Amino acid sequence: MRLIIAEKPSLARAIADALPGSPRKQDGAIAVGDTTVTWCLGHLLEQAPPDAYDPALKQWRLDTLPILPSRWKLTPRARARGQLAVIRGLLKSAREVVHAGDPDREGQLLVQEVIEHLSWKGAVSRLLVSDLNRPAVQRALARLEDNARYQPLYRAAESRSRADWLYGINLTRAWTLTGRQAGHNGVLSVGRVQTPVLGLVVRRDAEIRDFTPHPFFVLWADLAVEHGTLRAWWAPGEQQPLDDQGRLLAREPAAALAERLPGAEGRLVKLDTQNKRQAAPLPYSLSALQVDAARRYGLSAQGVLDTCQALYERHQLITYPRSDCRYLPEEHFAAARASLEGACRADDTLRQWLAGADFTRRSRAWNDKQVGAHHALAPTGRPMDPSRLSATEANVFRLIARNVLAQFYPPLSTREVKAEFRILDEAFRARGQEILEAGWKPLFTTRDEAPPLPTLTEGEACRVSAAGVEDRETRPPEPFNDASLIKAMMNIARYVEDSAVRRTLREHDGLGTEATRAGIIETLVERGYLVRKSKALRATRLGSALIASLPEAASRPERTALWEQRLSAIAEEGADPAPFLGDLISDLRGLLASADAGRLREALATSRGEEPAAVGRAPAKRRGATSRRRSGASTGTGRGTRRAGRKRGSS
């Protein structure tokens, strides 16, 4: 019997459907001829807790840190034991095994750790499926590879998992125990990813709190020109009191000029006209969808992920949602019309959008070179029946379908005009935009970004009909919300100064992964480090105190970039993982040495922030107790206890 082990049930079903023969469902598997397809439920195994190495480590003590396993152990997840037993039984009858994890670092780890844990000694083939369409799966089945080729990828994923355990377990225990000395009776969880995310919010809140507004002034003039009227704005010269953004800091010069302007004549001295064409936004990755759905519908990142999981698993309306890719396989182009017509025919809004699509157009979205383990979110072709979906599910599905439909619309064509007038020897500027061809834009908004200017000719005369001064004030940065925090995690390179680190973070998709970003935010809320206030995410006093008590390096994203550089060398160049883990342990000793009860006590006493909701405080003690019972297993990665069926990635 050939045994194929898929990463998740949906992939197993797709593989079984692509095999010749009639599928026969079994307990935890599907048999098709001489092949049996079984599945994992996300990670079936997890890093063993410290007391699995030494029962004495069940008690949290500073003098036992750092905890450094000499021989690593994995343990079954509680809710995955049944499926693990199914795979163990099937392996006894197997003559060959096929690894069918997702074609990425974590997918390689997820299945291979099960195969090795269950002591399979035979050869293993590798099946790489990035597209669940039946023809694509059949092609993948026809080109199996030797799994040995992917050992470097496995070693990199294994090293990341061990490094996160070392980092999270040791620092969480150190800061929790130091916190007790400082008077805080609860777990203080530290993780490689969750803590820098918390740091982002804490620093943003401090910027807002410490912001000192200052007034500035703008002068406008309404101008009559040959073909109409427009409003232009004074561009004060360097001789005026300006801030670093060119804003006028004194009202008197503007007020004096405003008194002289009515009736004054001038001339258009500079006219810049540019025609621009803008392609439609690409189909969604999960994070891009979370950003848009939060802005449009006020959904949390976790809410969008849960909705996508329902659309994918229960309704089978969309492709795999936990994708970091915004491109589609080139072979999907030929079937796009049929799948979109099927998906859109039962919904009035989607039918209207479908009617305007030109399926002879081919956008840049169809690009195999940009498709990795997964492709962008797209409709499967099943009809969307709004009566069978919740309002949220229908709204999210329309967004996904819209962005794919937009690939078959013309570009947005605009004419952008910048005009500079000279009046009383002063410069006044105006700008406008004229839509020449709306293209895809009506699918997204009917609002123009800038009204058009009347037809202008360089050198023509103008006359001021009215003028006025507006008193304005600088504003602090906006607090983070789900959309902006997900976007910050996606574009974390903006928050670091080192150019090499910025480059690495851009190359590796920022902080966290598509599968973990929403969970990281929710974990920080559940642990009482963040609180939702209206739609904003604000740091609590506890969250602010934790960041203040940690070395700065632990609360910034640079560590993820440095890790990714080393992990990439392991995955792509076959580098030895031992030096990476050795350097981490040296770094860890330094971080542990910086744990200081006095510093933490002061931080707890002086930090400012929001109070967590009452419902968020009570479970914290239960989670802390659970963490201690499991010897830090849930806090070691900084993400809490994960449900079986979810791929773990960043912590």
Q: Give yes or no: residues 469 and 508 share one domain.
A: no
Rounded CA Rg of the chain:
29
The answer to the question of residue 285 being in a domain is no
DSSP conformation letters of 208-260: HHH----EEEEEEEEEEETTEEEEEEE---TTS-B-TT--B--HHHHHHHHHH
Per-residue pLDDT tens digits for 319-329:
889 888 999 99
Q: Give yes or no: residues 517 and 614 share one domain.
A: yes
Position 542, amino acid: L
Positions of the chain with pLDDT under 70:
446-449, 504-509, 613-651
66 φ/ψ angles, rounded to the nearest 5 degrees: -80, 145
Domain count, the chain: 4
Q: Give yes or no: residues 510 and 625 share one domain.
A: yes
Which CATH number belongs to the domain containing residue 509 in this structure?
Answer: 1.10.460.10
Q: Give yes or no: residues 313 and 416 share one domain.
A: no
- Let me know: does 194 contact 523? Beta carbons within 8 Å: yes
The answer to the question of residue 339 being in a domain is yes
**Confidence at residue 504, expressed as pLDDT on a 0 to 100 scale:** 67
Residues annotated as catalytic (active site), given as ranges: 320
Which CATH number belongs to the domain containing residue 27 in this structure?
Answer: 3.40.50.140
Q: Give yes or no: residues 404 and 457 share one domain.
A: no
The answer to the question of residue 108 being in a domain is yes
**Confidence at residue 613, expressed as pLDDT on a 0 to 100 scale:** 65
Q: Which residues constitute the domain of residue 453?
A: 215-279+412-473
- Let me know: does 254 contact 409? Beta carbons within 8 Å: no
Domain boundary among 92, 119, 143: 143
Strands across the sheet containing 29-32 = 24-26, 29-32, 35-39, 2-6, 96-100, 124-126, 145-146
Q: Give yes or no: residues 455 and 384 share one domain.
A: no
128 φ/ψ angles, rounded to the nearest 5 degrees: -110, 110
Q: Give yes or no: residues 451 and 510 share one domain.
A: no
Residue found by looking up tokens 């910048």 in the block? 418
Q: Give yes or no: residues 263 and 234 share one domain.
A: yes
Per-residue pLDDT tens digits for 329-378:
998 999 999 999 999 999 999 999 999 999 999 999 999 999 877 899 99
Q: Give yes or no: residues 343 and 403 share one domain.
A: yes
Helix (H) / strand (E) containing 430:
strand 426-437
Which CATH number belongs to the domain containing residue 436 in this structure?
Answer: 2.70.20.10
